[in-house]
Chain A
Amino acid sequence: MCGTCGCKPHDFYPKSATSRQIKLDISLLNQNQQQATHNRARFQQLRLPVVNLMSSPGSGKTRVLEATLPHLKSLKCAVIEGDLQTRRDAERIKKTGTPAVQINTGKGCHLDARSIDTALDQLDIASLQLLFIENVGNLVCPAAFDLGESLRVVVLAITEGEDKPLKYPDMFYDADVVLLNKMDLLPHLEVNLDDLYDNLKQIQPNAVVLPISAQTGEGIEGWIEWLTQATRKFTSA
């Protein structure tokens, strides 16, 4: 209703206006998908593998990167960091000697393909050989937004409990690998790893699971091996 005279918007339209029904059937994720497809084509052209790291807040995404990057010194890597606020994670990455760009999503609970396109302007991407994206800590929303990445890596800390794959299936369904982090804490926990594996298989029978500790370095070599192998098909012509 207008504040001046109280008229309603439709009072302005002639009474004879004809009404029409239009059938559509358009995905609301289309917009993001188009940008993601564009990003992916750009990465393909550069033969640049891009890894999208996702997890709940605090599962250890940044810690995993801190443990991973020193093993990849022979490659030119960069990291895009997504958080609601602060530049803390980008600062942590820069300490490893790797260039990092921080995206602050403000209220946004996930990164989208457009935010990646914007962040790429701040990187010399033509010179890169491997790009990591650390998504906003959230086990739900990031799963629905393709960024154009080559690989989806989900970090699940064993402190989170064995039921997470059942509660957040989307995330685990699309994962190329699940890093089971904080294995060093196993003696202190009641978590049942067999149940955790069973729950994962219920959602994704082909899931690759790598137990690691980003803290002690346990399992990191196996993860680097997996990563080297998995990125190969994105670097070759």
Chain B
Amino acid sequence: MHELSLVEALLDQLTSTAQAEDLQRITALTVSVGTLSHVSTEALRFCFEACQRGTVAESAVLTIESETGHARCPACQREAPAQDWLDCCPYCGQAGRQIIRGRDVRLKSIQGLH
């Protein structure tokens, strides 16, 4: 799984943000995981907790929220939420929707001390 790569990118981002915002340390952060991303929240948390030591987010509390995916129907062109890749269009029942959102993992916010 690529959760470890994502956590490495996350820690790089936390370090550079802390520097830019002049924070001494980060105490909490929120990450959103798209419902279509195939990222395991358990693995993400495990990797984060294994790697956070010795970083600016050493004692930070990680909150993971889920971001509902969105897709556009190729038949009726309407957009609707998509919990799963196989969800058909809720309006016309068509499969094979174009994914617009929900494949990503994003750092949404941090809490830090000056």
Contact = CB atoms under 8 A, between A and B. Distances in A.
A170 interface: yes
B23 A20 contact: yes
A28 B6 contact: yes
Contacts of B109: 21-25
Question: Size class of B's contact patch?
Answer: 35 or more
A227 interface: no
A173 B59 contact: no
A118 interface: no
A165 to B, nearest CB: 10
A216 to B, nearest CB: 32
Nearest to B96: A205
Question: Size class of A's contact patch?
Answer: 35 or more
A119 B110 CA distance: 35
Interface string B1-30: 110111001101100010001011101000
A9 B2 CA distance: 30
A218 B112 CA distance: 61
A4 interface: no
B82 to A, nearest CB: 11
Interface in B37-67: 37-38, 58-59
B105 A27 contact: yes
A204 B31 CA distance: 29
A147 to B, nearest CB: 14
B113 interface: yes
Contact of B25 (A9, A112, A201): A9
Interface in A2-27: 8-10, 13, 17-27
Nearest to A173: B99
A170 B85 CA distance: 8
A54 B58 CA distance: 37
A203 interface: yes
A228 interface: no
Contacts of B13: 26, 28, 30-31
Contact of B103 (A107, A170, A204): A170
Given A13-B24, A20-B23, A22-B17, A109 B105 contact: no
B99 A27 contact: no
Contact of B111 (A21, A27, A30, A107): A21
A205 B114 contact: no
Interface stretch (A43-51, A88-96, A137-145, A185-193): A137-145
A209 interface: no
B77 to A, nearest CB: 14
Given A20-B113, A141-B2, A205-B74, 5 more contacts: A17-B114, A20-B111, A20-B112, A28-B31, A109-B2
15 contacts: A8-B59, A9-B59, A18-B113, A19-B112, A19-B113, A22-B109, A24-B109, A28-B13, A30-B9, A107-B4, A144-B2, A144-B37, A144-B103, A169-B86, A170-B38
